[in-house]
Structure 1
Amino acid sequence: MNKHDDLRVIKTRKLIKEAFYEAVHEKGFDKITVSDIAGKAMINRSTFYLHYKDKFDLLRSLEDEVLEDIEEISLSVTRESIQASRLTGAPFPHIVKLLTYVQENSEFFQLTVRDNTYLSFYNKMGDLISKRTFEVIFPQLTLDGLFSKYLKHIVVAIFSSIINQWIKNGMQETKEDIASLITKIALSFLAIN
């Protein structure tokens, strides 16, 4: 494939994604069709099928892209950054990065909170957060015992719920305010153990 073809593929996928978000906003995911997406993207259905099997494949592709980006953001979490936030009272920098990412990709995240139908995405996001935060940064929280076993799930559920509610409310509060809230809650949980 030459460079010109690569640019056409990138442009077509971008058009499809934009059309997808527009169609979902108008009709909801359950009611949209490939024809709706193709029409809004001003492409043929056959062109859509060159890139995606169906609307579910497109959604999975979008989820995978976002989860990869979130995993990349989570790599910036270190014991030192957590400790610095603990000492200074500043929000965790990775949470600010995550919320910035949510704002920059608001179309996707608005889709995930619409009608509460995308809980699987938040479960996957929670797994990423849990793995990085609890297994790498705070391995002592993976100790045996009922409290430690459920603490991880409780913390992830709380953080996912806060982010979900922030999105539902139209991101009215600043990302710094939400990051500070999450940081305070996280530090209070870490103080328990």
Structure 2
Amino acid sequence: MQRQTNTKEKIKDVFIKLINEKGFDSISVSDITRSANINRGTFYLHYLDKYDLLEKLEDELINEITNILIDETSIYDLENNSPFEYDVVLKMLNYAKKEFSFIAAIASEKGDPQFPSKFKKLLHLQITTKFGDLTKKLTPLVAGLSVDYNIEIMLAAPAAIILLWINNGGKDSPEKIAKLIVDGTRISPYDIVY
């Protein structure tokens, strides 16, 4: 079992390196096996192809982040005025920091162009899970429009901040980014400018 884990970690490390060097589209299974110093049969014991490898690694990442975001002990507090609680966001960012090399690779132009939208869906799940029935009670910001626009406004800034943090190399501390996200959902753009 430990040997299998080591092989999968080796494949993952090489995969990240190759995405950064060549881009996902240019990578072949041969590139991966050659760089990982394993034979193709060993690769195929774990993955069907490079797409399966990407999907399984992303699914693992998404499942872990989902578990953090929908933590049972974290209930939305109306007095907080934010769908994102500091402790939950911080825990997610600390996990992202641990998996930063993979996240940065797939979030880059050379990685998976679908990753930002997959990530945004996770944040959407956070809002709908935390608010629960409250989303059904939202009033559209503009008469005649769906409340989906309200939810999109709540999602846009946190998603953009996290992706910017990733693209900037995660230089700022998770604590500062978590505070920015939580505080940012409580204030209007007008408050930022003036």
TM-score, normalization by structure 1: 0.82
Moved runs in structure 1, 4+ residues, more than 4 A? none
Pair 116,37 (structure 1): closer, same or farther in 2 beyond 3 Å? closer
- The 5 A counterparts of 1:138-177 are 139-143=133-137, 145=140, 146=145, 148-177=147-176
**Paired-residue identity, %:** 32
- Offset at 1:86? 5.6
Which SS does the other structure have where 1:173 is aligned? coil
Q: How far does the alpha carbon of each residue in 1:22-70 deviate from its partner, in whole angstroms, 9 at most, with x for none?
A: 1112211111111111111110012111111111110000110001001
Q: How far does the alpha carbon of each residue in 1:119-155 deviate from its partner, in whole angstroms, 9 at most, with x for none?
A: 4223222222222323433532333642622121232
Would you tell me which structure has more helix in proportion to its own residues?
Answer: 1
2:75 equivalent in structure 1: 78
TM-score, normalization by structure 2: 0.81
Q: Are the aligned partners of 2:123 and 2:159 in contact in 1 as well (CA < 8 Å)?
A: no
- Offset at 1:104? 0.7
CA RMSD of aligned residues (A): 2.3
CA distance in 1: counterparts of 2:121 and 2:127, whole angstroms: 10
- The 5 A counterparts of 1:48-67 are 48-67=43-62
2:125 pairs, out of 125, 128, 131, with 131
1:3 equivalent in structure 2: none
Q: Are the aligned partners of 2:165 and 2:172 in contact in 1 as well (CA < 8 Å)?
A: yes
Q: Are the aligned partners of 1:142 and 1:149 in contact in 2 as well (CA < 8 Å)?
A: no
Structure 2: stretches of 5+ with no match in the other structure = 189-194
Which SS does the other structure have where 1:66 is aligned? helix
